[in-house]
Every structure is written in C-alpha cells, then in structure tokens.
Amino acid sequence: MKKITLLIAGICSISFAGLINCIHNRTVNAAEETSMSHEGVVLPTRVLMHEIARRTSNILEGTLAGSLKYVAQEAGAIVDDSYKINEVFFPADPKDNKWLQQAKIDPNDTEKITKLKEEFHIYLKNITSSALEVQKAAKAGDQKATFKAFTNMVEKACFECHTEIRDKMIPIENR
C-alpha cells in the first residue's frame, strides 16, 4: 500500500513539475552568466533539473497514451541529460561553484567534494541504467513493462537522489 501511495505521489509531482515547466519555461543561452541565480537556486542547476523533470513527465504521458516510440526518445534524452549532472554540479573550479556555496560546503574540502562526486556518480549510473530500461521496454512495444521501468526509475533514481542529496544538503528555501 505504501508503494502505491508513493507511486501516486511521485507521478503527481512529476506531472506537476512538467506542467510548471510548460507554463514557466526557463532557458539559458551561452551568452548568459552560468552563475546567475534565480529564486535562490543556481540557474544552470535549475534548468538541468527542470529539463530532466520535463522529460520524465513526457515519459509518463507517452506511456499512458501508448506512444512508446516517443517514450523511447525521451528516455534516451534523459540519458544524455544525466551526463550533464557532473558538469553542472561540479564545475572545474570549486571556488566558483555556486551549488557548493548553497550547500555550505567549503570549496577547499576536497575530501568532502570527492565523496559527494562519488555519490552523484552512483545516482548518475542509476538514472542512466533506469532510463535505458525504460527505453528498452518502450522499443519492445510493451506498455506495462515500460510503465514498470518508469516507476522503478522514479523510485530508485530520482527519489533516492533527492532524499539523500538534495533534501539533506540544500535548505528548502534554496531549492
């Protein structure tokens, strides 16, 4: 029963995130400063997470509509987007890293930053492997397996990362 409630809450929140993204779409071009903030969140971080949330919402909608070719395409895009996570969260110079500043992590604490990168890498592997499972099921034309792979992705990759990384590190007013 708890899994079903969690699943429904997850699906609603992903759908809501997709709706918000459609209504309030934000983009960044190369000429804009990458360290620019918006509502307490570093803009490149926000843009990347909104993009992944939008594609996740698209997967849910496509799965429910039976548009499995579209679902496979969006799952592939999540794989591509997920590889940007390390670039966005850990730019080359930790002293200029606005995300670390928000999390109140000392840019000179290389041990903590290395550990955090390793944790992010685990979630990066989880999201890419999960998205590839969604893509595989969608390409096979199996709507039920696609939905199951999708819910597994949200539960095992998205929720776990948010619980372990975002919710423990970034104060709610800065998300």
Please give the pLDDT value at position 166. 66
Mean predicted lDDT score pLDDT of the chain? 75
The whole-number average pLDDT for the span 141-162 is: 89
* Position with higher pLDDT, 150 vs 103: 150
Q: Encoding tokens for residue 139? A: 């390409």
- Domain coordinates in residue numbering, the chain: 2-174
* Position with higher pLDDT, 87 vs 165: 87
Q: Per-residue pLDDT tens for 101-115?
A: 777 778 788 888 888
Q: What is the pTM of this model?
A: 0.64
Please give the pLDDT value at position 22. 47
Q: Is the pLDDT of residue 10 over 50?
A: yes
Q: Dihedral of the CA atoms 101, 84, 166, 22 (nearest 10)?
A: 110
Q: Per-residue pLDDT tens for 14-62?
A: 654 554 444 444 333 333 333 333 344 445 667 777 888 899 999 999 9
115-142 per-residue burial string, b: 16 or more CB within 10 A, e: under 16: ebeeebeebbebbbebbbbbbebbeeee
